[in-house]
Each structure stands twice: as C-alpha cells, then as structure tokens.
Amino acid sequence: MIKIAPSILSADFCRLEEDIQKVSSADWLHVDVMDGMFVPNISIGVPVVQSIRQHTNMFLDTHLMIEKPGRYVKAFADAGADLLTIHLEADMPPAIRAALREMDSLGVKKGIALRPITAAEAVIPYLKEGLDLILVMTVEPGFGGQSFMADMLPKLTAIRGYIEQYCPGCHLEVDGGINPETAKLCVQAGADVLVAGSAIYNAPDIPAAIEALRS
Ligand code: DX5
Ligand code: ZN
C-alpha cells in the first residue's frame, strides 16, 4: 500500500491550516525542518509543529534537515511529531545512534535520510538495529521544485533489498521532484512512501493530484 505525504514546504504559510485541510485525503503530512546550516535554507521549527499538531490528526512525518539533530529529538517529539527522520550526514554515527535510541524511549517512530551523495550500504548497520523508515533524497535537500535525480533509482532498489533482508516492515520513502511519472519509477524501484510538494500544491485540483500519485 503506497502512502502519499504532501510536503507543506510548498504550502502558503499564511494559510497553513487551510492548506493542510486541502491535503487531508493523503496519508501522512510531510514537515520539512531546515536550520540554514545542514541545508542553505531555513523553514519551520518546533513551535510550528506544535501548532500543526493542534489542528490536524494526520501523521506528522517530520524531516529534520538540521546539524546534530540529536539536540532537538525531544523538542520535536514533545511538539507532537509522529516520526522523526534525521540525516546520516548530520552527525557522527554514535550520535546518530543515540538520537535513534532517544526516539525509541520517547515513543516516536524513527527514520534516517540519505543525501544523494550517500551510498545505499550506509543504511545497513542502522537497519540491523531496527528502523521505521529510510528516506532517499532524490534532489539535494533544501528547496522544493527541483528536478528528480533518476540516478537515485538503483539506490532505491538496493535499499529495498536490504530492508527485506534486515528489517522487513521498514518504510522506504522518496522526497524530491516526485510527480506522477517519477512516482511510478520510484514505486517500481521499491519505494512505498512518496513525498510531494510542488506536484500537489501547484495542482489546480489537489485531491486529484494526490490520487494521480497513487496510480
Ligand atoms: C526538500 C524537501 C522536500 C520538498 C520537496 O529539501 O525535503 O520535502 O518539499 O518538494 P518537491 O516535491 O517540490 O520536490
Ligand atoms: Zn522533505
């Protein structure tokens, strides 16, 4: 079963509640947190997640594009995030492990994300210890509206294989440049959660755009 996760990075932040209601036929809500260090952009933070939580029951799929993400695991969990995804490139492995353990102890689902440069094999040690999600970036993180990197497809296939081997049940999510055409390629390569910002929010008919990604 494919899940669609609209990215509110493409929403109108002055009309955030309305824009979240518009995507209520989707499965998850993708929340992009950026610190201006890990990526060259600043988006939203803890207080916004807290407010979103008060206005929707959607599953909050929170993508932390921040340096040393362990510093903020508790704050985002307390704010109401359902899943926290941290980048492998954002800290040293022991700190990444500690952050994932903290997610466990706080009862929040845990994910790791890979920039395009990071090899598929990097996920293996973490998968062996248990994960809820792996996010493969199909653009350089930081901005919406970029073009899909088709050379990430073999990485998806490889990671799908590792998931089946080491941690069946772990989701495989893609983020960046997803539209109905690229969605199909990603699903064929093994993805089961599709993030989309501009393909959903720039569409004239949002529910139809969400359904188009499922087929
Ligand atoms: C980019 C973010 C994405 C972004 C995707 O760094 O992680 O979630 O919103 O936007 P589109 O779907 O427009 O590529
Ligand atoms: Zn994202």
Atom index in ligand 1 nearest the CA of residue 197 equals 12
pLDDT of residue 215: 81
pLDDT of residue 205: 98
Residue of 9, 19, 136, 200 with the most ligand 1 atoms within 8 Å of its CB, for mutation: 9
pLDDT of residue 39: 98
Q: Strands across the sheet with 193-196, in order?
A: 3-6, 193-196, 171-175, 133-137, 109-114, 83-87, 59-65, 28-34
Whether the CA torsion 81, 82, 88, 92 is positive or negative: it is: positive
Q: Cβ(40)–Cβ(18) under 8 Å?
A: no
pLDDT of residue 69: 99
Ligand 1, atom 6, lies closest to the CA of 141
190 lines ligand 1 (CB under 6 A): no
Please state, in angstroms and rounded to a whole number, the distance separating the CA atoms of residues 21 and 66: 27
Q: Quick check: pTM over 0.95?
A: yes
Distance (Å) from CA 165 to ligand 2 centroid: 26
What are the pLDDT digits (tens) for 59-104?
999 999 999 999 999 999 999 999 999 999 999 999 999 999 999 9
First to last CA, the chain: 11
10-residue mean pLDDT series, the chain (215 residues): 98 98 98 98 98 98 99 98 99 98 98 98 98 99 98 98 98 99 98 98 98 94
| Contacting residues for 193 by C-beta, under 8 A, at least 6 apart | 2, 3, 4, 5, 27, 28, 61, 133, 171, 172, 173, 174
- Estimate the crossing angle of helix 206-214 against helix 180-188, to 10 degrees: 30
